[in-house]
């Protein structure tokens, strides 16, 4: 039976622990200390209970899954793991230190994965003595329900590691999409490009954001518009990803200074209240369909660039947008 070690028992670590335990794997859950690991185990058990309440999981399956999750004292307890998935906060220095330690502790044949949203897998691998066995496994939140996993090979990742990561994603009940490493991978790169372009368009014209979101949801395959999506993701998280992508790709990720002032004021979207979408009903100005058209054109352009660069196949880009962003059909199929 596969034993999965997870480092970082926060939002994603608990979700991934739940997914692995339900898939019949033994899970060793580590955090900075034993108490936090135990809290992470409690979160994973609570995820199962919520799914039982919704009728998506049998009570007996939830009980069996809980019995397979063990909170441990730290990374040194992960030596027996066949696979280790790292899900500590998105900080290059921290992740580098954690990967160096994982690499020292686990056996030579252990597969090591990072759930980074956008840091370089190559840079993380370089911090270890065994860079060929590190792979990106980008789960989407909530991992218990989102089917997509982007599988990212860094420069040193070997083919056997990639195919083991793809098999693991399948064994976890997920749909893997293979991605050649680039900032933002596929889904975040397409979405954040389209969001930045929509924010830029709205900054230069009178636009009712609620009506613009409605125009996007009604006018194409996306389930929600860029303003509601920003508030859902959290504006601090989004601005950090957007700024990194602007640094990597340039002005097409410029948002005309839409997000930074809101972040500075602590208006981070749903988690704080206050964000991009104003309270109350606004009045459409007539320009909202233009914002929606810009949103979809930008998504399609970024998807084409990804395909042209060979980051993923056109079919996989569309699949990733359907399973990772909830689009009814992918931007390339729509075009």
Ligand X SMILES: NC(=O)c1ccc[n+]([C@@H]2O[C@H](COP(=O)([O-])OP(=O)(O)OC[C@H]3O[C@@H](n4cnc5c(N)ncnc54)[C@H](O)[C@@H]3O)[C@@H](O)[C@H]2O)c1
Per CB under 6 A, residues contacting ligand X are 7-13, 30-32, 36, 87-90, 94, 98, 115-117, 139-141
Residue (141 or 265) nearer to ligand X, CB: 141
The least distance separating ligand X from the CB of residue 188, rounded to whole angstroms, comes to: 9
In degrees and rounded to multiples of 5, residue 113 shows phi and psi of: -125, 150
Among residues 44 and 292, whose Cβ is nearest to ligand X? 44
CB of 297 to ligand X, least distance (A): 26
Residue 99 designated active-site? no
> For this structure, is 150 an active site residue?
yes
Distance of alpha carbon 323 from alpha carbon 175, whole angstroms: 8
> In the complex, what is the shortest distance from the CB of residue 75 to ligand X, in angstroms, rounded to a whole number?
7
Q: Which of 99, 120, 188, 302 is catalytic?
A: 188
Place of tokens 């066995």: 133
Tell me the two tokens of residue 197. 């372009």
CA distance 206 to 271: 27
Helix (H, G, I), strand (E, B) or coil at 150: strand
Set 18, 99, 115, 117: catalytic member: 117
The number of helices, as runs of H, and strands, as runs of E, in the chain is 14, 8
Structure tokens that stand for 26 in this block: 């033994």
Q: Is 115 one of the catalytic residues?
A: no
At its nearest, how many Å lie between ligand X and the CB of residue 289? 30
Q: Catalytic one among 15, 18, 99, 138? A: 138
Which uninterrupted H or E stretch holds 84? Answer: strand 83-86
CA distance 19 to 42: 14
Active site (annotated) includes residue 181 = no
Q: Which is nearer to ligand X, 9 or 125 (CB)?
A: 9
In this structure, how many other beta carbons lie within 10 angstroms of the beta carbon of residue 38?
A: 16
Nearer to ligand X, 9 or 69 (CB): 9
The residues annotated with a catalytic role in the active site are 117, 138, 150, 188
């Amino acid at each position: 039976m596969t034993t999965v070690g997870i480092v970082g028992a926060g939002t994603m670590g608990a979700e991934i622990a739940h997914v692995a335990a339900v898939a019949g794997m033994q899970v060793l859950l580590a955090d900075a200390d034993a108490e936090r690991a135990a809290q992470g185990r409690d979160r994973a058990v609570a995820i199962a209970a919520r799914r039982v309440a919704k009728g998506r999981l049998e009570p007996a399956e939830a009980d069996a899954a809980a019995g397979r999750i063990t909170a441990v004292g730290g990374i040194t307890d992960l030596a027996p793991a066949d696979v280790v998935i790292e899900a500590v906060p998105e900080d290059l220095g921290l992740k580098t230190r954690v990967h160096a330690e994982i690499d020292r502790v686990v056996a030579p044949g252990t597969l090591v994965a990072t759930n980074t949203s956008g840091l370089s897998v190559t840079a993380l691998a370089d911090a270890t003595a065994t860079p060929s066995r590190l792979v990106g496994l980008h789960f989407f939140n909530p991992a218990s329900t989102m089917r997509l996993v982007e599988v990212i090979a860094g420069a040193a990742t070997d083919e056997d590691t990639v195919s083991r990561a793809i098999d693991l994603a399948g064994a976890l009940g997920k749909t893997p999409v293979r991605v050649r490493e680039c900032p933002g991978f596929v889904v975040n790169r397409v979405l954040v490009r389209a969001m930045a372009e929509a924010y830029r368009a709205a900054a230069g014209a009178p636009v009712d954001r609620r009506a613009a979101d409605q125009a996007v949801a009604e006018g194409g395959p996306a389930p929600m518009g860029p303003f509601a999506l920003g508030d859902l993701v959290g504006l601090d998280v989004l601005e950090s990803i957007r700024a990194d992508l602007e640094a990597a790709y340039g002005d097409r990720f410029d948002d005309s200074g839409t997000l930074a002032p809101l972040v500075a004021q602590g208006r981070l979207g749903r988690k704080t209240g206050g964000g991009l979408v104003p309270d109350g009903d606004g009045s459409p100005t007539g320009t909202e369909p233009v914002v929606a058209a810009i949103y979809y054109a930008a998504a399609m352009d970024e998807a084409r660039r990804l395909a042209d660069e060979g980051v993923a196949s056109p079919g996989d880009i569309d699949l990733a947008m359907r399973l990772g962003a909830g689009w009814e059909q992918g931007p390339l199929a729509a075009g």
